Structure 1
Amino acid sequence: MLLQCFVVAKHRWTRRAYIMADKRIRIHSPGKQTGKYILYWMQQAQRIEYNHALSYAISKAKRCGLPLVVLFVVSDDVPDANSRHYYFMLQGLWEVATALHKQGISFYFACGEVVEVVAAVAEDALEVVADHGYLRFQRQWRTELATKLSEQSTAYTEIETEAIVPVTQVSDKEEYSAATIRRKIVRLLPGVDLEPDTEVYKPVSIPNIRVNYPVYNVENTGFPSLWKWVNQHLKLDDSVAPVLAMQGGATAAKGKMHDFTMHKLALYQHQRNNPALDIQSGLSPYLHFGQISAMEIVQHILRNEGVSLGDLSLMLSNKRSVSPRYAGIASFAEELIIRRELSFNFCHYNPYYDTFSCLPAWAKATMLDHLPDIREEHYSLDRLEQCDTSDVYWNAAQMEMMQTGKMHNYMRMYWGKRLLAWCDSPEDAYQILLYLNNRYEQDGRDPNAYAGIAWCFGKHDRPWMNRKIYGMVRYMNAAGLERKYDMDAYLQKVTPDKR
């Protein structure tokens, strides 16, 4: 009855929130007793607010009476990253660096091999604090750094900043589907503390770091100067241009958040999948680069709507029973919390998350059983990148991604599934999709992106009716798009000069 009428519950959680900060903390090694500063190596959480790692580092610096140094290492050994990604990321980091500088916190950019640079800067540090990453290369960096810092007798602490509920707190194994992880998250969700840490840093001194790597200080400079400096020291892949219309940073992210909650959230449940409309939040690039926290977004929505985490947990448990007033909240929370944290679980527990091998046995078997089936078309990678296929909707989706850095999410599913019909093997289709997605999407190379590609091939899904080429993997076609949505309007939106 509560959910059907949805009179917001007025209960208050009288016990202390049971997902405490220490659930996010992993102490890799203790260290020496002296140091000149606390070092926060910022990598995944590229923001100031709702950043548990930064808050921990500030608190540590205050307790020890030491200055805080924040370091970001710009490196060209990040898999699949190009100028599009670096430009957007650095816009956000510039905003962070200048804001921290005004607070008396030193922020340095450095160029070089990530682990070597951090270890070098850490030689004078009492402790190194790092945020947590879920992808293979991020975890490898942190593992290698832990070894080096242990050899240097420097304390090293890693803080999980991106998940609303810490990954290992939710589950100790890879989850099969959204349904299985949802049950676990909704039990824990009411105990999450969404309040941001309000610690204020009082600068002790502003230290200089001395290392044999190129170092950039933001004082008295502008973003063009930083961009020029990065291009001087790194060999960036400039074959994919930045999307100048998409401004990076926390300010832009908050603008997107406010616009979405004011004008689109109420329509989200029923209109989010319509590719002709713009009802999606547009926040995924900002979440990918850690320029805004999912916790801040949830907190903003709950405050605006006057509901609690306990209420939200009930909505997620019984989405079909939620009243129309709150349907948009439940639908968006399903994507922002359940699906996103399912992708964290996927990348954390499945070492093959970026290969065909990550798929469930039934999906691999059914597609391989249909290898002898004649494919509908054959296209080279060059033709795919030129948006030159017989499918006008696929072409439009590919063009949308290439030009804007963001493909509509419903078209992303269609785009992925259609490629199966054009490749000699599902393995080939899988690798081509990863290449295109990681190359052009602003939020590519993200746990959500890897889970999304895998979903096109049956991951986190169930068997469907057996058919040619696809086997029992869920099928999508152009007729289905046309039956549901005004696809001419989508084409007009994406390719107006071709109509």
Structure 2
Amino acid sequence: MQPSARVRTLREAPVDPGGTHVLYWMTAARRTRSSYALDRAIDWARELDKPLWVLEALRLGHTHASARLHAFVVRGMCDNAARFEASPIGYYPYVEPKLNAGKGLLQAFARRACVVVTDDWPVYFVKNMTRAAAAKIGVRMELVDGVGLVPMSAPDRCFTRAHDFRRWCQKHADLWLGPQPRVNPLARLQLPVAGKPPVSRSKWPAAPVEPDAALDHVARLPFARDIPAIPGEGGSKAGRARLRAFVATKLERYTERNQPEAEVTSDLSAYLHWGHIGAHQVLRAVLASEPEWSPASISDLSRGQREGWWGMSPAREGFLDQLLTWREVGHNFVWHRPEDYASYESLPGWARTTLRAHASDERPQLYSLAQFEAAATHDPIWNAAQRELVQTGRIHNYLRMLWGKKILHWSASPPEALEIMITLNDRYALDGRDPNSYSGICWVMGRYDRAWGPERAVFGKIRYMSSDSTRRKLRLRAYLQRFGPE
């Protein structure tokens, strides 16, 4: 078993062949299919001839914890439990019942482990949590990158334009179209059977995995904010069902995605964010939907072209550009800018210069975070987009751009606007706290964009959007009715 471009050692310590088990600490790739990390853990268990335990835990104390986010993850735990139960792998789901109740659980699981495998996740608290844990574990600890199609460590620079990143991906397609994670690693799996969990059930009781009981448990947790769960959202089963439905009924019309009433967006980003579905699963489903396609269909020209490279229909090429280029250019940024990826200082120099030049411009309106959060602006389109976020955990793709542009327009300063966007998105969006989320938010203020004219008040040379132009471009009657005032 040789390490790949997706595996790096976080804890430089020897593997302990005398340990009792291999541990996979599941933190980001929360699924049992198409997972590089699960594959890696299984390979270790085979090589060492040891049982494999999977620990999937959920903290209560992270900044934006809520019933909405917890319920999404817990539905995935229920799916995982059912799958692991039919395998020799031991599975231990844990949901903190109160703050810090899970302290010491990982160390207890790792105390007699031969080696620990976990997910490489580049943002939010997971990144810091894994590094802090590594300092307390006495055996080798590996990070496995299962975030996207392209290994995050592969590009040797931070791309500032999507075109350049797309061109790099096209030139290095053999890297990310090469060996993929196993479609179903649990099928006919032979490993030593995991027995009794190596931790105290009384101190850290396993979470319920029957769906009704699991969601009832979530509903009783003491969250800081009352943000309700969204029925039916979350879990690998739901993610795969949504992928099948998208490919079967929406993909052919994906060129209409800017129209809210067309309802052709995939709605997969939350499932990708939480690892309930993997990018390779999505890629395989799209490629399989065009039976005549083969790798030989790919263009010999790799110039960063948005259309024509895959040799597929325009709708499929448009979707794959979103999956590969626009999703993963964000991974590239946070990999190379781990400390400031969401900061105002991370914006392009030209953007900060023009925003600074217009910082004292009079704003047409000024709203506070509380007013934005309550959808209490003068603009019915913006208010509808904010209500969609609060009610569903999503904003339609095109309206998300307008949502951000108007926060910039109506905030006291650009840094305050950035903070408001991140707070609202991370608090309510099912796919918040994600590299792609920060890409989209920072795009509002110039990331991956260029200077535009004419120069305008407040925006300067930042790309401008207005509700009036949006109303002219989009069919919004049904959308405004659905997310209008109660």
TM-score by length of 2: 0.90
Residues 91, 214 of structure 1: alpha-carbon distance in 2 compared, 3 angstrom cutoff: farther
The residue aligned with 1:71 is: 55
Residues 489, 299 of structure 1: alpha-carbon distance in 2 compared, 3 angstrom cutoff: same
Is 1:490 the counterpart of 2:479? The answer is yes
Is 1:342 the counterpart of 2:326? The answer is no
Equivalent residues, number: 470
Task: Determine the C-alpha separation between the residues in 2 that align with 1:418 and 1:163.
Answer: 31
AA aligned to 1:301 is: V
Task: Determine the C-alpha separation between the residues in 1 that align with 2:267 and 2:384.
Answer: 18
Is 1:472 the counterpart of 2:451? The answer is no
Following superposition, the deviation at residue 85 of structure 1 comes to 0.6
The residue aligned with 2:35 is: 51
For residue 88 of structure 1, the aligned residue among 40, 55, 72 is: 72
- The DSSP-based 3-state class of the residue aligned with 2:5 is helix
Residues 415, 158 of structure 1: alpha-carbon distance in 2 compared, 3 angstrom cutoff: same
Task: Determine the C-alpha separation between the residues in 2 that align with 1:23 and 1:127.
Answer: 19
The residue aligned with 2:372 is: 384
The residue aligned with 1:104 is: 88
Deviations 1:123-143 (A, max 9, x none): 011110111101042222222
Task: Determine the C-alpha separation between the residues in 2 that align with 1:367 and 1:393.
Answer: 25
Give the alignment of 1:49-198 within 5 angstroms.
49-110=33-94, 111=96, 112=100, 116-149=104-137, 152=138, 154-169=139-154, 171-191=155-175, 192-193=177-178, 195-197=180-182, 198=184
The residue aligned with 2:404 is: 416
- The DSSP-based 3-state class of the residue aligned with 1:148 is coil
Task: Determine the C-alpha separation between the residues in 1 that align with 2:342 and 2:117.
Answer: 28
Is 1:355 the counterpart of 2:343? The answer is yes
User: Does the CA contact (< 8 Å) of 2:79 and 2:235 recur in 1?
Assistant: yes
The residue aligned with 2:247 is: 261
Task: Determine the C-alpha separation between the residues in 2 that align with 1:329 and 1:397.
Answer: 27
User: Does the CA contact (< 8 Å) of 2:299 and 2:311 recur in 1?
Assistant: no
User: Does the CA contact (< 8 Å) of 1:83 and 1:241 recur in 2?
Assistant: yes
AA aligned to 2:83 is: A
Higher percent of residues as helix: 1
Give the alignment of 1:32-47 within 5 angstroms.
32-47=16-31
User: Does the CA contact (< 8 Å) of 1:194 and 1:296 recur in 2?
Assistant: no
AA aligned to 2:5 is: K
The residue aligned with 1:10 is: none
The residue aligned with 1:430 is: 418
Residues 231, 494 of structure 1: alpha-carbon distance in 2 compared, 3 angstrom cutoff: closer
User: Does the CA contact (< 8 Å) of 1:97 and 1:218 recur in 2?
Assistant: no
AA aligned to 1:489 is: A
Is 1:225 the counterpart of 2:213? The answer is yes
Residues 314, 249 of structure 1: alpha-carbon distance in 2 compared, 3 angstrom cutoff: farther
The residue aligned with 1:328 is: 315
Following superposition, the deviation at residue 173 of structure 1 comes to 2.4
The residue aligned with 1:299 is: 284
Task: Determine the C-alpha separation between the residues in 2 that align with 1:296 and 1:422.
Answer: 40
User: Does the CA contact (< 8 Å) of 2:348 and 2:447 recur in 1?
Assistant: yes
AA aligned to 2:115 is: E
Deviations 1:291-328 (A, max 9, x none): 00011110111122132356456698433457996101
Following superposition, the deviation at residue 256 of structure 1 comes to 1.1
Residues 202, 216 of structure 1: alpha-carbon distance in 2 compared, 3 angstrom cutoff: farther
The residue aligned with 1:22 is: 4
The residue aligned with 2:223 is: 236
Task: Determine the C-alpha separation between the residues in 1 that align with 2:301 and 2:203.
Answer: 51
Residues 91, 185 of structure 1: alpha-carbon distance in 2 compared, 3 angstrom cutoff: same
For residue 272 of structure 2, the aligned residue among 267, 284, 287 is: 287
Task: Determine the C-alpha separation between the residues in 1 that align with 2:298 and 2:271.
Answer: 23
AA aligned to 1:159 is: V
- The DSSP-based 3-state class of the residue aligned with 1:416 is helix
- The DSSP-based 3-state class of the residue aligned with 2:53 is strand
Following superposition, the deviation at residue 483 of structure 1 comes to 2.2
Following superposition, the deviation at residue 99 of structure 1 comes to 1.0
Residue ranges of structure 2 left out of the alignment (5+ in a row) = none
Deviations 1:21-63 (A, max 9, x none): 6111113322333111110000000001100111111122122
AA aligned to 1:41 is: W
TM-score by length of 1: 0.88
